[in-house]
Structure 1
């Protein structure tokens, strides 16, 4: 692998309820080790059929608003054809169609080039699988 490409995975426990978890600090720590003042791209990917990556404000209610909106758009009820798991679990498999399982972000001088209020957030509505893998890949 070229020395301008670095990747790692980490595990995160999301729990038994839907969550929007801020993982910006994990991204920042990875870049501090591998980007070393360089410009490039960070790709954040969650290899699961029931989770996504969002860029949004956290802590001021937007993360909770996102989860509330997802509950309205894709309710956990019996309408879903995908029926294994807990009741309404089929909605979790629709989530990545609305919140993609990846995001590619600019890195400038080794730092994420996010807006003032933006964070990298793992979105998980699937309480059946509380253990998630996140892959960070830097190219620069």
Structure 2
């Protein structure tokens, strides 16, 4: 594969509860190996129909606030037409319309350009699928 494009798949155990998983350090480690000080773009993609990628502050309650907001917007009840899995699982299939399954971020001199409090996170409300894959791709 060309030095201009490098990709890696992360296996993430998100567990059997709603979670926001901080992937920032994984992204930084990947860029240390693949970007080699170059400018470019990092694409983060989750190939699942029931998870998303968010750029959000973590550790100060914002991650819990995001999950609470999603529970308000997408309640786990029987209103959903998509009805397999745990009760209310149909809402998990609507999640990617609100929290997209991808983010593309600038990389300058091999480093991820995030704001002071920003983190790259997997958002997973699907309690039926505890194992996720996240693809990191650097183009530079």
TM category, shorter: over 0.9
* TM-fit CA distance, 1:3: 1.9
Q: TM-score w.r.t. structure 1 length?
A: 0.99
Match in the other structure for 1:28 = 28
**What's the RMSD between the two structures over aligned residues?**
0.5
Match in the other structure for 1:10 = 10
Rounded to whole Å, the distance in 1 between the matches of 2:119 and 2:77 is 30
Q: Secondary structure at the match of 1:137?
A: strand
Q: Secondary structure at the match of 1:17?
A: coil
Instruction: Could you tell me which runs of 5 or more consecutive residues in structure 1 were left unpaired when the two chains were aligned.
Output: none
Instruction: Could you tell me which runs of 5 or more consecutive residues in structure 2 were left unpaired when the two chains were aligned.
Output: none
Runs of 4 or more off by more than 4 Å in structure 1? none
* TM-fit CA distance, 1:52: 0.2
Q: Secondary structure at the match of 1:27?
A: helix
Match in the other structure for 1:114 = 114
Q: TM-score w.r.t. structure 2 length?
A: 0.99
Rounded to whole Å, the distance in 2 between the matches of 1:6 and 1:115 is 24
Q: Secondary structure at the match of 1:117?
A: coil
Match in the other structure for 1:79 = 79
Match in the other structure for 1:66 = 66
